[in-house]
Amino acid sequence: MASTLTTGSPWRVILSFTVPLLLGNVAQQLYQFADTVVVGRWLGVDALAAVGATGPLLFLLLGFAWGLTSGFAIPTAQAYGARDDDAVRRSVASGAILTGIASVVITLVAPLVARPGLELLQTPPELLEAATVFTQVSFLGAGATMFFNQLSGIIRAIGDSRTPLLFLALACGLNVVLVILMVGPLGWGVAGAALATVLSQAVSVALCLLYVWRRMPVLIVRRAQWRVSRADLAEHLRLGLPMGFQASIIAIGILTVQVALNTLGSEAVAAYTTASRVDSLALAFLQSLGLAVSMYTAQNLGGGRPDRIRRGVVQAVRMALVGSVLLGVVLVAFGASIIRVFVGDGADEVVELAHLMLVINGVTYSFLGVLFVLRGALQGLGQAMVPTVTGVIELVARMFAAIALGGVLGFFGVAASNPLAWLAALFILVPAYVRAHRRLAAMPITAEVTTATTPIAVIGPTDGSMVVDAVLTAPVPVVVPRRMPFARSGR
C-alpha cells in the first residue's frame, strides 16, 4: 500500500523500504541465475559464454531504458511528498507516454543492430550465432521490460516497495519454470532462455496494471490528465535522459571490458559472466539501498523536510559501509564454492578466474556502497548533471583499466576495472553531495502543528492485537504543494 517516507526514524524508514527492494532484486537475480545454471549445465560452457557476451550490448540499450524510467519516477515521488494528487497523475501520464515512445523505438531498431554490435565487440566466432539470437529475442521484448520498470517505479514512488516485490517474485517463479521447459524439453536453446524472461516480464506488467487499477486510485490517470503539457514532458526528460545516458555511459565502459575479455578467450568470458551473476546478487542490498534513498529523498524534498534528508543520507551511508564489509567477507570466503554451482566440475580455470574477480570486487564494495547512496540522494533531489558526470568518469576509468591493465595483467587487469571506476566516480560524487548537504541545511523546514485528535495506536494485551488505548496529540506536518526549486538550481 502507499505510504509516506516523510515521517518516522530516517534509518528505519529507509531500511524498511529497502528490504522489499532487496528481496525483489534478489528474486530478479535468482531467475537470471536460473538462466545461467540451465544454460551452463544443459547447453554447455560455450552457450553460457554466448549469453554472457550479450550482457554489455543489452545493458547499453536496456540499461538506458531502465535509467530513463527510473528518472520518470522522481517527479512522481516529489509530487506525492507534496500531497499534490493532480501532479502525481500528470507525472504518471508523462512517464507512460515517454516510456511507450522509447519502447517502440528500441523494439524496432535494436534487433537490427544486434549482430553488427556483437561483431564490433569482437565476439568469438563460435559464440556469435547464439549470442545474436539471444540478443534479438531480448530486444523484441524490450517493451515488457520498460513498462514493468516504469510501473514499479511509480508504485515505489508513493512509498510502496512491497507490491512490486510480490509481482516480481511471481514472475521469477514463472521464469524458472519457462526457462527449464523451453531450454530442456522444447529444445529452443538460448532463444528459449531469452523468451522465458520476456514472457515473465509481460506477466509482471499485467499484474502491476491490475493492482494500480484496483488499489491505487492516486495513480489512475483521468482523461484530462493525459493531456500533458510540454513542460511536464520536458521535466521528466530532464531527469530521465541523464539517468538513461548515465547507464549507457557505464555500459560503454562495460563494452570495453567485453572487448578485452573476448581477446582472452571463451573461458575468460565464461568466468566473467558467472562472477558477474554472483556479484549482482551480492550487490542487491547496496543497489536497493541506493534506490530507497532516492525515493526517500524525493518525497522529503517534496514534503519540505531537508533535515530528514540530511539525517537519512548519513545513516544510509553507515548502513552501506556495514553491508559492504559483510558482503565482501562472504565472497572472499565462499566465492569459489558458489561459482562451482554454475559451471559444475571440470572447469577449474573458469572457477579460479571468477573467484579472483569476486575477491577484487568484494574487498572494494565500500566504494560502491557509498557511491550508490550518494548518487541516489542527488537523483532524488532532482540533480541530473552530477550523476551523469560520474558516469563519464566511470567510463574513462573502466576503459583505461580494461585496455591498459588488461593488456599487461590479463584477466586481473580487466577485473580491476570495476573498483577503479567506482573510486574515480567518488572523487566527483562526494564533494557534490557535501555541497548539497550544506544547501539542505539552509533550506526552511515545513512547519508542524499539533492536533488534539490524532489517534496513536498502542499495542494491546498479550495477544498482540492493536487497540487505540488513548487519544494523544502528535505533530503533523502541514504540507503545501509547491514547485521544487532545489532541482533546477542544484545541478
- Sequence-distant (≥ 6) Cβ neighbours of residue 13 within 8 angstroms: 5, 7, 296, 312
Q: How confident is the model at residue 318 (pLDDT cuts 50, 70, 90)?
A: very high
Residue 454 near residue 470, CB atoms below 8 Å: no
Task: Give me the pLDDT at residue 250, please.
Answer: 66
Average pLDDT over residues 170-191: 82
Residue 448, beta-bridge partner list: 477
Short-list 46, 54, 49, 200, CA closest to 135: 54
Residue 387 near residue 379, CB atoms below 8 Å: yes
Q: What percent of the chain has pLDDT over 70?
A: 85
Find the DSSP H helices in 189-283. Answer: 189-215, 230-262, 266-282
Q: What's CA 453's distance to the chain center, in Å?
A: 41
For residues 4 and 303, what is the distance between their CA atoms, to the nearest angstrom? Answer: 10
Task: Give me the pLDDT at residue 388, please.
Answer: 78
Task: Give me the pLDDT at residue 32, please.
Answer: 66
Phi (first) and psi of residue 454, to 5 degrees: -85, 110
3-state secondary structure of 450: strand
Residue 225 has pLDDT above 70, yes or no: yes
Q: Who wins on pLDDT, 474 or 25?
A: 25
Residue 442 burial (CB count, 10 A):
7
Q: How confident is the model at residue 3 (pLDDT cuts 50, 70, 90)?
A: low
Q: For residue 474, what is the DSSP state? A: E
Tell me the per-residue pLDDT of 100-152, one tens digit each, with 9 for 90 and over: 998 898 889 888 888 888 887 777 777 788 888 888 888 888 888 889 888 98
Degrees to nearest 5, angle at CA 305 with 301 and 311? 100
Task: Give me the pLDDT at residue 479, please.
Answer: 41
Average pLDDT over residues 349-373: 91
Residue 448 near residue 477, CB atoms below 8 Å: yes
Residue 40 near residue 342, CB atoms below 8 Å: yes
Task: Give me the pLDDT at residue 455, please.
Answer: 34
Q: How confident is the model at residue 178 (pLDDT cuts 50, 70, 90)?
A: confident
Q: Who wins on pLDDT, 426 or 383?
A: 426
Find the DSSP H helices in 416-479. Answer: 417-442
* Statement: the pTM of the whole predicted model exceeds 0.85: no
Short-list 486, 489, 468, 366, CA closest to 82: 486
Least confident of 19-28, 94-103, 143-152, 187-196: 19-28
Tell me the per-residue pLDDT of 431-452, one tens digit each, with 9 for 90 and over: 999 999 999 998 888 754 433 3
Task: Give me the pLDDT at residue 63, please.
Answer: 75
Residue 295 has pLDDT above 60, yes or no: yes
For residues 475 and 58, what is the distance between their CA atoms, to the nearest angstrom? Answer: 49
Residue 404 burial (CB count, 10 A):
13
Q: Who wins on pLDDT, 93 or 3?
A: 93
CA-based torsion, 69, 70, 76, 79: positive or negative: negative
CA-based torsion, 122, 125, 127, 132: positive or negative: positive
Average pLDDT over residues 380-391: 82
Task: Give me the pLDDT at residue 262, please.
Answer: 72
Residue 206 burial (CB count, 10 A):
14
Task: Give me the pLDDT at residue 42, please.
Answer: 72
In terms of residues, how long is the chain? Answer: 491
Residue 83 has pLDDT above 70, yes or no: yes
Least confident of 45-54, 187-196, 399-408: 45-54
Residue 458 has pLDDT above 50, yes or no: no
For residues 135 and 145, what is the distance between their CA atoms, to the nearest angstrom? Answer: 14
- Sequence-distant (≥ 6) Cβ neighbours of residue 44 within 8 angstroms: none
Residue 72 has pLDDT above 80, yes or no: yes
Task: Give me the pLDDT at residue 367, please.
Answer: 93
Inter-CA distances, 359 with 29, 38, 71, 261, Å: 20, 25, 33, 18
Mean predicted lDDT score pLDDT of the chain: 79
Least confident of 4-8, 201-205, 483-487: 483-487
Q: How confident is the model at residue 345 (pLDDT cuts 50, 70, 90)?
A: low
